[in-house]
Amino acid sequence: MNDAPTAMGEAIKILVVDNDQEMVDLLMEYLSREGYAVIAAKSGQEALGRLSEVPFDMVVSDLKMEGIDGMGVLKAVKRVCPETPVILITAFGTIESAIEAIKEGAFHYLTKPFKLGELKVTIERALEHKRLREENVRLRREVEGRYRFGNIIGRSRRMQELFELIPAVAASVSNVLITGESGTGKELIAKAIHYNSPRKERPFLPINCAALPEQLLESELFGHVKGAFTGAYVSRKGLIEEAEGGTLFLDEVGDLSLSLQAKLLRVLQEKEVRPVGGRESVKVDVRFIAATNRDLRRMIGEGTFRDDLYYRLAVIPVPVPPLRERLEDLPLLVDRFLKKYAEASGKAAPEISQAALGLLLKQPWRGNVRELENVVEAAVALSKGPIINASELTPFLLAAVEKPSEELLVTLRELERGYIAKVLEMTGGNKKEAAKILGISRKTLYRKLLSPIDPPGFKR
Ligand SMILES: Nc1ncnc2c1ncn2[C@@H]1O[C@H](COP(=O)(O)OP(=O)(O)O)[C@@H](O)[C@H]1O
Ligand SMILES: [Mg+2]
């Protein structure tokens, strides 16, 4: 017995199937001598029985047999344990069916008469092939595991560091400030922190501080009592209270007005909220994760963000790098989005050509991962063949170059600016009147009017 064929210290199990007793004896003797654990079946039926009992590393079967033939055995193996290689033995003259068998997934076939050494080499090759495949699957799984954290994909050093940080951040009770350009995955990270934290069974509530007029935002956050303002017909709990035991995600926290900053600070300090118009405060246990694409330190310098609030929020600062600084993540992200959008539209996931990928790697990605995701989504929707090539991407990239800034946010800003201008025009420049119509304080209106106009392509 030689020392070669062992898997995990155990002999490799081969199932030998043949109607011919002499052949079975010959193969059994030879393969046992080679160190394999051989089990024989004298018919297809018997082979199927064996297959359902124990897993085999390899099956060697005659092709032409009474009853269930070699093809039947092959199909059964592919059904029960698709990774197990099957070697078929054919008599001269049944080559066509042997070729058919290869199509069905047989590893190889040997034509009678063959040398035993030939069988040995074929078995070794099949086992090597199987080992490589298993290795590949294992590697891919490992890569998947290592290059992703929940839904967050990333192999760059910065993202890997982030993946290491998230569990620790999740376990702590401290507030978190996630900073980074729009579309870098801040909300995704906030969710990952919440859903890996002891608070995961409690709510994760997001609120976008840039999306609502001040008064509405205030009552959203803190709630209000009946009659607190016109239209407050019933009292309503705010999101801070609703998030009890869980996490409140304050998105675009840099857009919070100074007066709301002061109110929020009080909640963080006292751990209680008082609804708008209410007299009593309610104790709350909420973790705050804030995010912004603004430079809060600069805003502190300019007097538009409170430093005391900053330090309460940024107990754990989590900076997220822009996509252009971690382009090694791009191919993985593209792969993921190709699959995601192909699946959503019931298509097979297309491949992306090298040239197309090269083109993507050259883009500035001012809208970061969100922009990349949009481009891939559009390409998948319109792609015709199994491969997306560079020319199919160009239209979407050109569109992206024409309006390079983060679509949603800048559009909203521009929208807001345009609307304010219109209201001012209507009121003949009367700011008090305009502020009333806009539902914001005069101070906020001044702040909005004074904030600098972004040059084209400027990122906040
Ligand atoms: N690392 C990432 N892996 C997978 N998807 C991502 C990643 N970063 C961002 N995305 C996707 O990009 C989009 C924008 O992410 P989001 O968290 O909303 O960004 P932000 O809050 O920073 O603007 C979402 O669809 C998100 O799923
Ligand atoms: Mg966001």
Q: Is the pLDDT of residue 1 over 50?
A: no
Average pLDDT estimate for 97-107: 87
Average the pLDDT over each of 60-74, 163-177, 367-381, 400-414 and give the range with the smallest value.
Answer: 400-414
Ligand nearest to the CA of 370: 1
Average pLDDT estimate for 309-333: 96
Q: Which atom of ligand 1 sits closest to the CA of residue 154?
A: 1
The whole-number pLDDT of residue 2 equals 43
Question: What is the CB-side half-sphere exposure of residue 311 using CA atoms within 13 A?
Answer: 3
Mutation test residue for ligand 1: of 195, 337, 370, the one with most atoms within 8 Å of CB: 370
Any ligand 1 atom below 6 A from CB of 407: no
Which strands make up the sheet holding 247-251, listed edge to edge? 204-208, 247-251, 287-292, 176-179, 316-319
DSSP labels, 120-136: HHHHHHHHHHHHHHHHH
Helix (H) or strand (E) holding 87: strand 86-90
Query: In the chain, what are the domains?
Result: 6-143 (3.40.50.2300), 153-321 (3.40.50.300), 324-402 (1.10.8.60), 407-450 (1.10.10.60)
The whole-number pLDDT of residue 310 equals 98
CA of 412 to the centre of ligand 2 (A): 13
Residue of minimum CA distance from atom 12 in ligand 1: 370
Average pLDDT estimate for 403-428: 65
Closest CA to 447 of 269, 245, 304, 277: 304
Q: Is the pLDDT of residue 120 over 80?
A: yes
Q: How far apart are CA 254 and CA 305, in angstroms?
A: 7
Q: Residue 125 burial by CB count (10 A; 0-12/13-18/19+): exposed, middle or buried?
A: middle
Q: Residue 121 burial by CB count (10 A; 0-12/13-18/19+): exposed, middle or buried?
A: exposed
The whole-number pLDDT of residue 402 equals 45
The whole-number pLDDT of residue 233 equals 85
DSSP labels, 33-66: HTT-EEEEESSHHHHHHHHHHS--SEEEEESS-S
> Which carries the bigger pLDDT value, residue 6 or residue 26?
26
Both tokens of 252, joined, read 């675009």
Q: Residue 79 burial by CB count (10 A; 0-12/13-18/19+): exposed, middle or buried?
A: exposed
Q: Which residue has the tokens 């199994």?
A: 386
Both tokens of 22, joined, read 């002499």
Tens-digit pLDDT profile for residues 226-270? 988 887 888 899 999 999 999 999 999 999 999 999 999 999 999
Any ligand 1 atom below 6 A from CB of 370: yes
Q: Is the pLDDT of residue 405 over 80?
A: no
Q: What is the dihedral of CA 304, 309, 313, 316, to 10 degrees?
A: 90
Q: Residue 337 burial by CB count (10 A; 0-12/13-18/19+): exposed, middle or buried?
A: buried
Q: Residue 329 burial by CB count (10 A; 0-12/13-18/19+): exposed, middle or buried?
A: buried
CA of 185 to the centre of ligand 2 (A): 7
Q: Is the pLDDT of residue 345 over 90?
A: no
Q: Which atom of ligand 1 sits closest to the CA of residue 187?
A: 17
> Which carries the bigger pLDDT value, residue 438 or residue 221?
221
399 falls in which pLDDT band (50, 70, 90)?
Answer: low
Any ligand 1 atom below 6 A from CB of 5: no
The whole-number pLDDT of residue 189 equals 97
Tens-digit pLDDT profile for residues 310-320? 999 999 999 99
**Residues 16, 38 contacting (CB under 8 angstroms):** yes
452 falls in which pLDDT band (50, 70, 90)?
Answer: low
Q: Is the pLDDT of residue 6 over 80?
A: no
Q: Which atom of ligand 1 sits closest to the CA of residue 251?
A: 21
The whole-number pLDDT of residue 459 equals 47
| Distances in whole angstroms, Cα of residue 75 to Cα of each of 17, 105, 106, 108, 369 | 14, 8, 9, 14, 44
Q: Which atom of ligand 1 sits closest to the CA of residue 190?
A: 17
The whole-number pLDDT of residue 207 equals 96
Any ligand 1 atom below 6 A from CB of 154: yes
The whole-number pLDDT of residue 427 equals 78
The whole-number pLDDT of residue 136 equals 73
Tell me the range of 47-51, 88-92, 428-432 where mean pLDDT is highest: 47-51
Q: Is the pLDDT of residue 72 over 90?
A: yes
User: How do the residues of the chain divide into helix, strand and coil, expressed in percent and rounded to 5?
Assistant: 50, 15, 35
User: Bridge partners of 141?
Assistant: none
Average pLDDT estimate for 69-89: 92
Any ligand 1 atom below 6 A from CB of 367: no
414 falls in which pLDDT band (50, 70, 90)?
Answer: low
Average pLDDT estimate for 306-333: 96
Count of other CB atoms within 10 angstroms of residue 8? 4
Q: Could you tell me what percent of the chain has a pLDDT over 70?
A: 91
Tens-digit pLDDT profile for residues 139-195? 777 777 788 899 999 999 999 999 999 999 999 999 999 999 999 999 999 999 999
Any ligand 1 atom below 6 A from CB of 322: no
User: Bridge partners of 90?
Assistant: 111
Crossing angle of helices 330-344 and 368-382, rounded to 10°: 50
CA of 371 to the centre of ligand 1 (A): 9
What is the reported pTM? 0.63
Q: Could you tell me what percent of the chain has a pLDDT over 90?
A: 62
Any ligand 1 atom below 6 A from CB of 153: yes
Whole-number average pLDDT of the chain: 88
9 falls in which pLDDT band (50, 70, 90)?
Answer: low
Phi and psi at residue 306, to the nearest 5°:
-75, 130
Q: Which atom of ligand 1 sits closest to the CA of residue 406?
A: 23
